[in-house]
């Protein structure tokens, strides 16, 4: 069987400074140039950049409305590949990425979701040593697999979902390649995805019974710097909380969307993970409400945690390495204890 044609889809949000490097990495593949295409969808206009990219044989489109899901949805009619390798504007592909992706999908016609390992790099694209303290602050997200890990939901059932979460299957869009049919499966929901596209795609494939493969091969470079959405890249707990609060409404909307997807296709799938995630972002959303005084914010936190939230956050079997949720759970637990001590008779 011939390798599938691969569409590299680069979604450019607002980080235009990194986009040329992302495109160059996509074009610098060891695979034959006739075996893949490079498509860029931008959320901003830059005519000079468009001219440069098109001169390199790159297709460039602007989708100025909506979020990442809407941009991906708008590109589906323009993609020629049976397999789509997703790349965010601030990440990079290593030269063997397309070869690895095409080989995996050629070998397994039932494979729907492929997730490769990452090589962390700094803002300048320089690899970060494995013993660097920043990687420890990222709570184990970059611990490599020892061997490929495959899940077939049709035979393994929902109990393996926690294994996928622990191994980082929903982390980093630039590590994910899917069959084009996966992106086209729920046109009613995809355009509404704001920030959590990796998790949405993972839930969708798992709930529909598609085969999933996690590969230790590090063919993506993941850029770590204070301006991206990486969990805990600065080591500053205040800044971490501020970033969580800023993105909480969008994350909450995505999680509700994922819950509706799961309820439609596979009721009961990953309930501990979803419920804990929803609770966590409910808390951060409440903390970020405009005009909320500090005392009222703490009171909202205590009330949410009293709804069995603290027990779920601490004892849930779901390993919350993804998105730093385990780390944030620890912070929330300490904050709840302080709030309960200081608020006392406030309730």
**Considering 223, 258, 284, which residue would you say is the last residue of a domain?**
223
Tell me, what DSSP letter sits at residue 158? G
60-103 confidence digits (pLDDT tens): 999 998 889 999 999 999 999 999 999 999 999 999 999 999 99
**Considering 168, 201, 223, which residue would you say is the last residue of a domain?**
223
- What's the CATH code of the domain at 196? 3.90.550.10
Q: Is residue 39 part of a domain?
A: yes
Q: Is residue 187 part of a domain?
A: yes
This prediction has a pTM of: 0.81
pLDDT > 90: what percent of the chain? 41
305-340 confidence digits (pLDDT tens): 554 444 444 333 333 333 344 444 444 545 444 443
Q: Do residues 206 and 290 both lie within one domain?
A: no
Q: Do residues 193 and 323 both lie within one domain?
A: no
Q: How many residues does the chain have?
A: 347
Please give the average per-residue pLDDT across 43-65, as a whole number: 94
Range of the domain at 285: 237-346
Q: Is residue 93 part of a domain?
A: yes
**What is the per-residue pLDDT for 317?**
36
Q: Is residue 84 part of a domain?
A: yes
Contact 143, 321 (CB under 8 A): no
Q: Is residue 229 part of a domain?
A: no
Q: Do residues 173 and 204 both lie within one domain?
A: yes
DSSP states of 8-59: EEEEE-S-TTTHHHHHHHHHS-SS-GGGEEEEEEESS--HHHHHHHHHTT-E
Q: Do residues 159 and 283 both lie within one domain?
A: no
Q: Do residues 29 and 128 both lie within one domain?
A: yes
Q: Do residues 164 and 246 both lie within one domain?
A: no
Give the largest CA-CA distance in the chain. 70
Q: Do residues 200 and 292 both lie within one domain?
A: no
Q: Do residues 117 and 91 both lie within one domain?
A: yes
**Considering 223, 251, 270, which residue would you say is the last residue of a domain?**
223
Q: Do residues 267 and 122 both lie within one domain?
A: no
230 burial level (CB within 10 Å; 0-12, 13-18, 19+): buried
171-210 confidence digits (pLDDT tens): 899 999 999 999 999 998 999 998 889 999 998 898 888 8
Q: Do residues 126 and 197 both lie within one domain?
A: yes
Q: Is residue 78 part of a domain?
A: yes
Alpha carbons 138 and 156: distance in angstroms, whole number? 29
Report the first-to-last Cα separation within the chain, whole angstroms.
67
Q: Is residue 62 part of a domain?
A: yes
Q: Do residues 16 and 124 both lie within one domain?
A: yes
Q: Do residues 59 and 32 both lie within one domain?
A: yes
Q: Is residue 245 part of a domain?
A: yes
Say how many domains are in the chain: 2
Residues in CB range of 208: below 8 A, 6 or more apart: 112, 185, 265, 266
Radius of gyration of the chain (CA): 20
């Amino acid at each position: 069987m011939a390798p599938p044609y691969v569409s590299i889809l680069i979604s450019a949000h607002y980080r235009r400074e990194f986009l040329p490097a992302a495109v160059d990495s996509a074009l610098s593949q060891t695979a034959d140039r006739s075996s893949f295409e490079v498509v860029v969808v931008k959320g901003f206009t830059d005519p000079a950049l468009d001219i440069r990219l098109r001169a390199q044989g790159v297709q460039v489109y602007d989708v100025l409305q909506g979020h990442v899901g809407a941009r991906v949805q708008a590109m589906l009619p323009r993609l020629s590949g049976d397999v789509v390798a997703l790349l965010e504007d601030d990440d990079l592909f290593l030269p063997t990425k397309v070869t690895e992706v095409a080989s995996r999908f050629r070998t397994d016609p039932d494979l729907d979701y492929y997730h490769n390992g990452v090589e962390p790099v700094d803002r300048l694209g320089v690899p970060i040593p494995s013993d660097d303290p920043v990687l420890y602050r990222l709570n184990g997200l970059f611990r490599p697999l020892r061997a490929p890990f495959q899940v077939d939901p049709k035979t393994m059932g929902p109990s393996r979902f926690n294994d996928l979460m622990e191994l980082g299957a929903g982390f980093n869009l630039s590590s994910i390649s899917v069959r084009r049919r996966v992106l086209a499966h729920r046109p009613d929901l995809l355009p509404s995805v704001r920030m959590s596209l990796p998790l949405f795609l993972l839930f969708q494939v798992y709930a529909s019974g598609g085969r999933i493969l996690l590969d230790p091969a590090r063919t993506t470079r993941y850029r770590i710097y204070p301006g991206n959405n990486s969990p805990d890249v600065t080591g500053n707990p205040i800044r971490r909380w501020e970033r969580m609060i800023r993105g909480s409404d969008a994350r909450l909307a995505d999680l509700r969307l994922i819950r509706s997807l799961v309820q439609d296709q596979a009721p009961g799938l990953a309930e501990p993970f979803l419920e804990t995630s929803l609770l966590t972002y409910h808390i951060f959303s409440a903390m970020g409400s405009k005009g909320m005084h500090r005392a009222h914010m703490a009171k909202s936190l205590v009330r949410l945690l009293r709804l069995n939230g603290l027990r779920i956050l601490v004892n849930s079997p779901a390993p919350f390495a993804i998105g730093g949720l385990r780390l944030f759970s620890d912070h929330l637990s300490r904050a709840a204890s302080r709030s309960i001590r200081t608020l006392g008779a406030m309730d």
